[in-house]
Amino acid sequence: MSPKIKPDKLQENPRTKRFGKKVFFKHKVSSTNEWAKELAKLGAQEGTVAVAETQTAGHGRLNREWISPEGGLWFSIILRPKALASKAIQLVFVVGVAVAEVLRRRFRVKVETKWPNDVLVNGKKVCGILVEMNTTREEVNYVVTGIGINANFDVRKVLPRQLREVATSLENELGRKIRLEKLFNALLENLERTYDLYTVKGFTPVLQIWKKYANFLGHKVEVSNQEEKITGLALDVDDEGALVLKLEDGRARRVFIGDVSLCV
Ligand code: BTN
């Protein structure tokens, strides 16, 4: 089986209504998120997707580098939600649910969601999600949701030493390569379904599913961001996507930015 993506198999997903009806593919781009933003500025419709085989400047949250070798699934989808900018962060959870459900159903692996934007398999990060938006005052013009899945490569050969302990790939977990086009199409179907649930029924049902995968809830965690390190019991993720911690002195604290690690 080819570890690479087959561009002709990405087009015209017959099982979606809007997502992936227009798919742009390049072997190499700087970042599919940057490319999708250009397409959105030119008026691309909701559901348009930009896919690349490799990215030379893939990036993640807090502008961190996202290493994107051949064999990964790197793509960005354009959304045009009728939402206020303050709510658009909820889309991170919409995407997280869609990815988690597809990975669990297709590969029968132990999937977890980790606040705010990671999907883990067997306790290690396999997918990162980056949501970026363009707004006019409080109104959202478009949102680009980037999804990076470590798929057909061995993280021990590709990622720097410090990431090998915390990251994994589907190949590492399954012991085989997968068909990237099939995973791509399954993701688009589930993304459309979860996004429709979100637009019709709101954030609550999506967040409920996301929390079912959130094994860190109920455990003592450390949240670090540029300003501080906070330790507490991870109580909940609330309707604004904030992580609610119970601090050691018993007070509750809502956190909006940071990296979570379990305290052992
Ligand atoms: C993170 O974990 O911080 C988010 C990583 C998101 C990576 C994806 S890969 C496709 C898209 N293009 C990018 O440059 N980033 C996202």
Q: Which long-range contacts (CB under 8 A, 24 or more apart) does 201-206 make?
A: 203/87, 203/90, 203/93, 203/239, 204/239, 206/90, 206/93, 206/94, 206/97
The enclosing H or E element of 133 equals strand 124-136
Give yes or no for residue 232 CB within 6 A of ligand 1: no
What's the 117 CA to ligand 1 centre distance in angstroms?
10
CA-wise closest residue to 173 among 153, 197, 148, 202: 153
What pLDDT, in 10s, does the model give residues 180-238? 999 999 999 999 999 999 999 999 999 999 999 999 999 999 999 988 999 999 999 99
Backbone φ and ψ of 184, nearest 5°: -60, -50
pTM given for the model:
0.96
Dist. CA 226–CA 148, nearest whole Å: 24
3-state secondary structure of 89: coil
Give yes or no for residue 146 CB within 6 A of ligand 1: yes
Dist. CA 164–CA 57, nearest whole Å: 20
* The predicted structure's pLDDT at residue 4: 81
Class of the 7-212 domain?
A: alpha beta
Name the closest-CA residue to atom 8, ligand 1. Answer: 148
What's the 93 CA to ligand 1 centre distance in angstroms?
15
Tally of CB atoms within 10 A around 164: 16
Give yes or no for residue 76 CB within 6 A of ligand 1: yes
24 neighbors 10 (Cβ within 8 angstroms): no
Q: Return mean pLDDT, the chain.
A: 95
Region(s) of the chain under CATH 2.30.30.100? 220-262
What pLDDT, in 10s, does the model give residues 38-79? 999 999 999 999 999 999 999 999 889 999 999 999 999 999
What's the 65 CA to ligand 1 centre distance in angstroms?
9
Region(s) of the chain under CATH 3.30.930.10? 7-212
Does domain 220-262 fall under CATH 3.40.50.11260? My reply is: no
Give yes or no for residue 172 CB within 6 A of ligand 1: no
